[in-house]
Structures are given as C-alpha cells and as structure tokens.
C-alpha cells in the first residue's frame, strides 16, 4: 500500500514543523497515526532521514514551515522503496515529493526457520524424530557399543565427537527432517482443502437443482465442518509464528495475527547491507548473494601452512603410550558385554 499527498498535518510535530505555536489539525493527525498503526504504514522520507529538517510547505508572513506532504508505505514493502526526495515545486507553495519503486528487486530469502510446536501432537512425527535421534546416536557412538545397546540404553554413552559438536549435528539432522515432514503435511493439507472446496461448490450446484434434498444439506454441513477444521489448523500455525500472548489468553483468530506475522517477518528482513569495501547495497538479490558469499568463505576448507613449525621436533616431545595385552582384552570384553560396566560400578 502506498498513500501520498498533501495531508495538511505532520506526524512528528517536533521534527516536521518550524515556528508553529499549536499542533496543526490535531484530530486529523490522530486519525493518521491510527491509520499507520492499523495498516503498518511508515513515513518513507523520515525512515531514510531520521534527524533532517526539510519542509515541503512555507509561509512568509508570519514565517512558518512544515512537512505536510509525504508518502506512507506498507512496512513490508520498504525493501523495494528507495531514493525519497523533496524537490522545489513549480507554481505552488508546496515542494515535489518522490520515491523510487523497484519491483524487480522484490526477492527475499527464506527467512528464519521456526519450529511448529503443534507437530508434537502428531504421533507419526514423534516416532519419526525418536528413530532419527537413535540413528544419529548410533552414527557418532564409540565403536565399543553394540547397536541395540545404544538404542535401549538410558545412560550416557561415549561419543567419537565432543558433546557440543554432537548437539549441533543433532540439530542439523533433525531440522532437515522436520522441514521435510512439515512441507509434506502442508502439501497434503492444501490438496485436501482444495478437494473439499470443489466438493462444496459441486454440492451447492446440486442443491440449486434439488432444494428439498435433506441429504445434500447434511453433506454440505459435514464438508464445511472439515474445511473449518483445516483452516483452524492453519490459523494455529499463524498464531504460533506471531508469538502473540493473546493466543494463550483466548483471543480468537483475527486479522491481527496475520498482520503480526507479516510485521515479524519484516523486522527480520535485511533492507540494506554494508560491504567490507564500504559500499551500501539495497538490492535484495545482491544482499542474498553477499550473505551467501560471506558464509561460504567463512566455512570453506582452507589449507593452513606454517613453515616455521618443525613437526619432527614437535613429535619428539610427545609420548605415545600403547595398550597392553591385558587392557586390550578388557576393552574387547566390555564391547561384547556392555552390561558388565554397570555391574562393576554398582
């Protein structure tokens, strides 16, 4: 949404007026502020010029100045808005205001992923995650453990990697599984919703031909109930993503949650980025490419060489101890009989 014009009021009386004794059109100003709050609108010029004092209207006797002309734009649309200007007008006491809109750059990344906790009520999902955790534990467990022992044991097991790295790998694997499963459920839900809508439309056409058919009325009520259930499930996801406390206090589904989710996504978006060379980029495609290159360079495999290190001298100071035959036999016995460790501890 883009709204512009001569509003004959100012949103910020401190920064947008000069030599005013009173607030201009106070009731209209309150309505404009209310409109901005309800529709998530922002003053484009003020967002780009936080402390500047440039006015679009002037009066010479007495001297008064104000920025009465401005653009209000939806906050989630700001990533394609740039170059707000105030220029001299022609045959008018108002200045020209302008902005640039680049729709070709309206390409956003996938944003942050947030776990949908409603999946925890899906028994199929819970069993899948438990099986995946078991597979990951088996993958990184020390070789002395039997596969079934890893699966059934409630005790801490030794890993081939440190605990922090194991935790990160666990999150990495589970995240991929959860996203795939959630995507699968969403596709099925969309498909089911579409099929129900088609059945409802077909039933309505049959009712027009047979208005006295009680069976058709009962069928359409059942279909409507199924459709409401699917859409309530979808709205629950919107509420979870909105992080709204009202949901916990019983607030019903409304446009509020949809707007709040959109606002949260906007707050996470990167509208501009400063590169290492000092250049500021605002094009979303360039921002995504810059972020990708940053993390690609950060985590790429690098060959580190240090010609000053004498490996032979370093190894000579290290003492390597080998296991005795008795210790080898003890490890083999522990691997074959993992329960013996518990008995010895007791």
CATH H superfamily, domain 2-101 = Endonuclease/exonuclease/phosphatase (3.60.10.10)
- Report d(CA 40, CA 103) in Å as an integer: 20
99: buried, middle or exposed (CB in 10 Å: 19+, 13-18, 0-12)? middle
pLDDT at 43: 93
pLDDT at 155: 59
- Determine the average pLDDT of the residues in 18-33: 90
- Determine the average pLDDT of the residues in 49-78: 87
pLDDT at 260: 66
Q: Counting every residue, how long is the chain? A: 346
> Is there a contact between 56 and 5 (Cβ–Cβ < 8 Å)?
no
Tens digits of per-residue pLDDT, 252-298?
555 666 666 666 666 667 777 888 888 888 777 788 888 888 888 88
Q: How confident is the model at residue 247 (pLDDT cuts 50, 70, 90)?
A: very low
pLDDT at 8: 92
The DSSP annotation for 274-287 comes to E-TTS-EE--HHHH
Locate the domains of the chain by residue range: 2-101, 117-268
Q: Who has greater pLDDT, 271 or 224? A: 224
41: buried, middle or exposed (CB in 10 Å: 19+, 13-18, 0-12)? buried
Tens digits of per-residue pLDDT, 162-209?
888 888 888 888 998 999 998 888 888 888 888 888 888 888 888 778
Q: Who has greater pLDDT, 160 or 84? A: 84
- Determine the average pLDDT of the residues in 304-319: 65
> Is there a contact between 193 and 230 (Cβ–Cβ < 8 Å)?
yes
pLDDT at 98: 93
pLDDT at 112: 67
Question: CA distances (Å), 290 to each of 40, 295, 321, in order?
Answer: 29, 9, 49
């Amino acid at each position: 949404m883009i709204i512009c014009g001569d509003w004959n009021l100012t949103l910020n009386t401190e920064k947008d007026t000069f030599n005013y004794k009173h607030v201009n059109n106070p009731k209209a100003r309150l309505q404009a502020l209310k409109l901005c709050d309800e529709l998530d609108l922002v003053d484009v010029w003020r967002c780009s010029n936080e402390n500047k004092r440039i006015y679009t209207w002037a009066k010479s006797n007495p001297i008064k100045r104000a920025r009465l002309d401005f653009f209000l734009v939806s906050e989630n649309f700001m990533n394609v808005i740039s170059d707000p200007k105030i220029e001299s007008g022609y045959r008018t006491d108002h200045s020209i205001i302008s902005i640039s809109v680049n729709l070709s750059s309206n390409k956003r990344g996938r944003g942050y992923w947030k776990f949908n906790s409603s999946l925890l009520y899906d028994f199929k999902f819970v069993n899948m995650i438990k099986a995946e955790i078991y597979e990951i534990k088996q993958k990184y467990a020390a070789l002395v453990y039997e596969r079934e022992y890893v699966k059934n044991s409630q005790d801490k097991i030794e890993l081939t990697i440190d605990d922090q790295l194991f935790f990160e790998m666990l999150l990495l694997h589970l995240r991929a599984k959860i996203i795939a499963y959630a995507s699968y459920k969403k596709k099925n839900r969309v498909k089911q919703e579409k099929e129900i809508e088609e059945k409802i439309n077909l039933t309505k056409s049959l009712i027009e031909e047979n208005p006295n058919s009680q069976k058709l009325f009962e069928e359409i009520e059942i279909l409507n109930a199924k459709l409401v259930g699917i859409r309530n499930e979808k709205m629950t996801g919107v509420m979870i993503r909105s992080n709204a406390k009202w949901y916990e206090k019983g607030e019903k589904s409304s446009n509020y949650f949809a707007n709040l989710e959109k606002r949260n996504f906007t707050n996470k978006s990167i509208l501009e980025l400063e590169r290492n060379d000092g250049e500021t980029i605002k094009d979303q495609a360039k921002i995504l490419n810059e972020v990708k290159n940053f993390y690609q360079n950060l985590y790429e495999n690098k060959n580190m060489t240090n010609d000053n290190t004498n490996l032979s001298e370093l190894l000579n100071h290290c003492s390597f101890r080998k296991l005795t035959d008795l210790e080898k036999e003890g490890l083999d016995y522990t691997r074959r009989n993992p329960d013996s460790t518990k008995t010895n501890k007791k």
